[in-house]
A and B are shown apart, each in its own frame.
Chain A
Amino acid sequence: MPISVVRKPPRLSLAELLLFKWVLGGFLALLAIWMVFHVDPDFWMTAGVATVLVLAGLLRPDLPARVPDWVWKGIVPVILVVFLFRLMTADLIPALITLNIWLVVYRTLCPGSRREEMQFLLLCLLLIVVTGVLLVSLLFGLQLLIFTALAMSYLFIVNLAESAAANAEKSEKQWRHLNVFFFFRRFGQVLDFKLVVLGTLLFFTIMGVSTLLFMVIPRVQFDGSISFLDFNRGGSRTGFSANVSLGEVVRITEDTSIALRVDVSPGMALPETPYWRMVVLDEYSRGGMRISASAASTMGLDWDALPIRRHELPVITREQGPTGDAKGRWSFFLEGNVSQFLPYLGTFERLVHRDPGELTANPVLGLYSLRRISGSLTSYQIEGMDFSGRIHDPVLAGGGPLLAQLDPFISMLEEIHDENPRAVAYPQTLLQTFRGRLHQAYLEDLVAEITGGREMTAQEFSRAATRWLASRHSYSLSVTLPQPEGPFRDPVIRWMQHELPGHCEFFAVAFTLLARTAGHPTRVVTGFKGGTWNGFENYFMVRNSDAHAWCEIYDGEGYWIRVDPTPGSDEVGGAPVLMAGGTDHFLADNSMAAYLDSLRMIWYRRIVSFDQSSQVQVMRGVRDFFVRSYQKTVVLLERAGSLFVEWLLRPWDVLRMGYWVLLTLAGTALFYLLQWVWKHAEARLLHSGRFEDPVRNRAGRYLLRLRDMARTAAEPLVIDERLLDDLHRLRYGAADTWPDPAEVFRRVRKAL
Chain B
Amino acid sequence: MNGLLSSATVSTAPLREGAWVGPGAAESGSRLRRWGQFLRSMVLPPKGHRVVPTKSGLMLIVLALGIGMAAYSTSSNILFTTLALLLSTLILSGIISWFNFKGTCWRLVAQPPFRVNQEAVVALDVANRKRFLPTYSLWFDFRLREAGQNLRIHLSDRLDSGQTTRLEWTFRPASRGVEQVEMYDVGSQFPFGFLKKHLGGIAAMTVRIWPERIPYTFDGSHTSVARFRGQMARRSGGAGDLISLRKYQPGDSHRQIHWKATARSRKLMIRQLAAENHGGFYIFLDPSEGIWKSGPQFETLCSLTASLAEDLFRENLLLGAAVCGEPMVAVRRLADLEAFLDRLAVLEPMAETGRGDPPPFRHVITFQPSSTRGVHAYIGSQKAATA
Contact = CB atoms under 8 A, between A and B. Distances in A.
Interface of A: 1-4, 6, 8, 11, 114-115, 117-119, 122, 125, 129, 132-133, 136, 140-141, 144, 148, 152, 155-156, 158-160, 162-164, 166-167, 194, 198, 202, 205-206, 209-214, 217, 219-222, 225-228, 354-355, 607-611, 685-687, 689
B192 A214 contact: no
Interface stretch (B88-96, B261-269, B289-297): B88-96
A687 B56 contact: no
B152 interface: yes
A3 B167 CA distance: 11
5 contacts: A164-B156, A210-B88, A213-B88, A355-B75, A687-B162
- Of A117, A209, A607, A608, the most chain B CB neighbours within 10 A belong to A209
Enumerate the 5 nearest inter-chain pairs by beta-carbon distance, A residue then B residue, closest first: A228-B74, A209-B88, A214-B84, A118-B56, A213-B84
A158 B189 CA distance: 10
Contacts of A114: 55-56, 193
The interface residues of chain B, by DSSP majority, are classed as mixed
A115 B55 contact: yes
B6 to A, nearest CB: 29
Contacts of B207: none
Contacts of A167: 153-154, 156
Contact of B78 (A119, A129, A689): A129
A148 B81 CA distance: 12
B156 A163 contact: yes
Given A166-B152, A221-B75, 19 more contacts: A11-B157, A148-B85, A156-B192, A159-B191, A166-B139, A198-B133, A202-B92, A206-B89, A206-B92, A210-B87, A213-B88, A226-B73, A227-B74, A228-B74, A607-B77, A608-B77, A610-B77, A611-B75, A689-B160
Contact of A609 (B56, B77, B137): B77
Contacts of B87: 210, 213
Contacts of A136: 78
A211 B134 CA distance: 27
A119 B62 CA distance: 12
A3 B139 contact: no
A750 B136 CA distance: 44
A129 B67 contact: yes
B108 interface: no
Contacts of A160: 136-137, 156
Nearest to B192: A155
The interface residues of chain A, by DSSP majority, are classed as helix
Contacts of B192: 152, 155-156, 159
Nearest to A132: B78
Contacts of A227: 74
Interface stretch (B36-44, B124-132, B304-312, B347-355): B124-132
B155 interface: yes
Interface string B1-42: 000000000000000000010000000000000000000000
A314 B209 CA distance: 91
Nearest to A14: B156
A47 B80 CA distance: 27
Contacts of B155: 163
Interface string B92-134: 1000100000000000000000000000000001010001111
B82 interface: yes
Contacts, number: 159
B74 A3 contact: no
A667 B152 CA distance: 56
Contact of B59 (A118, A144, A228): A118
A225 B70 CA distance: 10
Interface residues of B, number: 56
Contacts of B80: 214, 217, 219, 610
B78 A158 contact: no
B370 interface: no
Contacts of A159: 136-137, 189-193
Contacts of B77: 214, 607-611
Contacts of A686: 131-132, 161-162
A112 to B, nearest CB: 13
Interface of B: 20, 55-56, 59-60, 63, 67, 70, 72-85, 87-89, 91-92, 96, 125, 127, 131-134, 136-137, 139, 152-158, 160-166, 189-193
Contacts of A222: 72-73
B54 to A, nearest CB: 8
B91 A209 contact: yes
Contact of A220 (B59, B72, B88): B72
Contact of A140 (B56, B78, B160): B78
A4 B129 CA distance: 12
Given A4-B164, A227-B74, A163 B193 contact: no
Contact of A2 (B60, B134, B164, B190): B164
Given A148-B85, A155-B192, A156-B192, A225 B74 contact: yes
A675 B23 CA distance: 28
Nearest to B163: A4
Contacts of B139: 163, 166
Nearest to B190: A159
B64 to A, nearest CB: 11
B99 to A, nearest CB: 10
Contacts of A221: 75
- Of A133, A163, A214, the most chain B CB neighbours within 10 A belong to A163
Contacts of A148: 85, 89
Nearest to A213: B84
A211 B88 CA distance: 9
Nearest to A129: B82
Contacts of B154: 163-164, 166-167
Nearest to A687: B162
Contacts of A211: 84
Contacts of B163: 4, 6
A209 B158 CA distance: 26
Nearest to B194: A155
Contacts of B82: 125, 129, 132, 144
Contact of A228 (B70, B89, B96): B70
B125 A3 contact: yes
A117 B127 CA distance: 31
Contact of B79 (A133, A166, A220): A133
B69 to A, nearest CB: 10
A219 B125 contact: no
B312 to A, nearest CB: 36
A3 B165 contact: yes
Contacts of A217: 80, 83-84
Contacts of B191: 152, 155-156, 159, 202
A159 B125 CA distance: 22
Contacts of A685: 132
Contacts of A2: 164
Nearest to A608: B77
A166 B156 contact: yes
A230 to B, nearest CB: 9
